[in-house]
Amino acid sequence: MGTFTRLTYHVVFSTRYRRKLIQKEFQERLYEYIGGIIRFHKGQLIEIGGMEDHLHLLVIFSPARSVSETVRDIKANASRWAKKHAATGFGFEWQKGYSAFTVSYPQLEAVRRYIRNQPAHHRTRTFREEYIEFLKQHRIEFDARYLFETEHQG
């Protein structure tokens, strides 16, 4: 018998301190670069979208690598690239951590639409509200005090 997999995930992560670093003029090139990282790791980018402070990826990852390894490589390489190519320059960083939710085949189109419609979703709710809603929908326990890094002044 052969081995067959289709491991599809909805991955969400933000910029550090949720700074608005993903500007429109830079966004498309960043998305293309992230797609290249995913392809390099034998994955497939189905959809990518987000706002100035966070990203949503609908992806198929290779079963040969863990989700955490793949997301770590996406974030590290995209961050290095962004530091060289973004108007924000050296200050580009991703928040520590991420969320990944499995997506069944019948739900792919609904998740794609959700990712494509990020600007509409964020007219009525913040990224924090959206993120907490995802965690609750997937019954993931969390302490709201530790969801996001906070920037310390002084």
C-alpha pair distances (Å), 66 with each of 48, 49, 81, 87: 20, 23, 23, 32
β-sheet bridge partners, residue 7: 61
Q: What are phi and psi of 13, to 5 degrees?
A: -155, 160
pLDDT of residue 89: 60
Predicted pLDDT of residue 37: 97
152 part of a folded domain = no
Q: Which domain holds residue 30?
A: 7-146
**Residue 154 pLDDT:** 45
Question: What CATH number is given to the structural domain containing 82?
Answer: 3.30.70.1290
Structure tokens at 14: 């933000």
Question: Domain total for the chain?
Answer: 1
| Cα(28)–Cα(34) distance, integer angstroms | 10
In a domain, 37, yes or no: yes
Which pLDDT score is estimated for 77?
96
Distance CA 103, CA 100 (A): 9
Give a yes or no: residue 151 inside a domain: no
In a domain, 154, yes or no: no
Query: Does residue 121 fall inside a structural domain?
Result: yes
Looking at residue 36, its pLDDT comes to: 97
Per-residue pLDDT of the chain (154 residues; tens, 9 = 90+): 888 888 899 999 999 999 999 988 889 999 999 999 999 999 999 999 999 999 999 999 999 999 999 999 999 999 999 988 876 666 889 999 999 999 999 999 999 999 999 999 899 998 889 999 999 999 999 888 888 877 644 4
Angle at 79 between CA 75 and CA 85, to 5 degrees: 145
* 81 assigned to some structural domain: yes
